[in-house]
Amino acid sequence: MNIVILDSKAANPGDLSWEWLNKYGEVTIYDRTPEAQVVSRAKDAEIVILNKTIVSRRSVEQLPKLKLIAILATGFNVVDTAACDERGIAVANIPSYSVSAVAQQTFAFILEFANRVGLHSDSVHAGDWAASPDFCYQKAPLAELMGKTIGVIGYGRIGRRVTEIAKAFRMRVLANTAHPENYPDAPVKFLSLDEMLPQCDFVTLHCPMTPATDKMVNAEFLAKMKDGAFLVNTSRGGELDEAAVADALNSGKLAGAGVDVLSTEPPAADNPLLSAKNIFITPHIAWAAYETRERLMGIVEDNIASFLAGNPKNIVNLK
């Protein structure tokens, strides 16, 4: 069995091991692979493992030995699954491995905005506290989460975990989902966006990237939000109209934002969010805690072992 990992670096920057793959065959590992080199590197592969490397129809058609594409992520839009269907190539993803980690990142943004830990720590290290005439001081307004209203857009596993955490902070939770009837016992009130947005101190996105959510957070959406609200996106970068969000931040309509994803990654130097006011941006790391990646590695091994045993799991195509 010939196994090729096309982009190993993000999932395993060196603190985990690929040794377990050796029991399944001969393994070749690349840190990253440009799309133009997919065919030359994977031409003899029966199993390809990838994260964000694009495998187009043209590539699929030139990989005659390929049987399985094992994706090191939940999203599988980088692979032309229709082309894989035609060739009988299975595509397996890793669902739900990062639920807790992404919810944690969501609240990392919210807590940074509410408590300004980084700002005040930097101030203390700069000597401001040592020079202060008082025992304490504030560089920016601080906020208590208890009693604040958070709007959760998307009520899948991550949205539900965010709700649990918000409830622990004694926040009021409103939610928006395409199918509220699927959650008759949910501890939240489901509202339309028009009803929800004007009430929320915080709005957080946890929905899939679809034609309906493409640039969903646009000027019209932002105008409906409560003045001075805080926006969080740990979902998909394409769900924001980034120019409109930057305008809302710079005008003060939004008090702040926290985003872990951008429309293009890495971002272009002229991405308007990079120069916007009051925004925390992290480089798509919500999923990247050691424990989360270790869990991911275990699931991808199970996907491969199950496929080879004739009992495939987490196959997103061939239906």
Sign, Cα dihedral of 155, 161, 167, 171: negative
Residues 61 and 84: their CA atoms lie apart, in Å, by 9
Among the options 26, 61, 164, 265, which is catalytic? 265
Residues 201 and 171: their CA atoms lie apart, in Å, by 10
Among the options 32, 41, 172, 284, which is catalytic? 284
Among the options 160, 161, 206, 236, which is catalytic? 236
Residues 165 and 68: their CA atoms lie apart, in Å, by 37
Active site residue 293: no
β-bridge partners, 281? 259
Active site residue 57: no
Residues 195 and 109: their CA atoms lie apart, in Å, by 24
| φ and ψ of 95, to 5 deg | -80, 145
| φ and ψ of 237, to 5 deg | -60, -35
19 burial (CB, 10 Å; 0-12 / 13-18 / 19+) is exposed
40 burial (CB, 10 Å; 0-12 / 13-18 / 19+) is exposed
DSSP 84-144: HHHHT-EEE--TTTTHHHHHHHHHHHHHHHHH-HHHHHHHHHTTTTTT-SSS---SS----
Instruction: Please say whether the beta carbons of 122 and 112 come within 8 A.
Output: no
Active site residue 236: yes
Residues involved in catalysis: 236, 265, 284
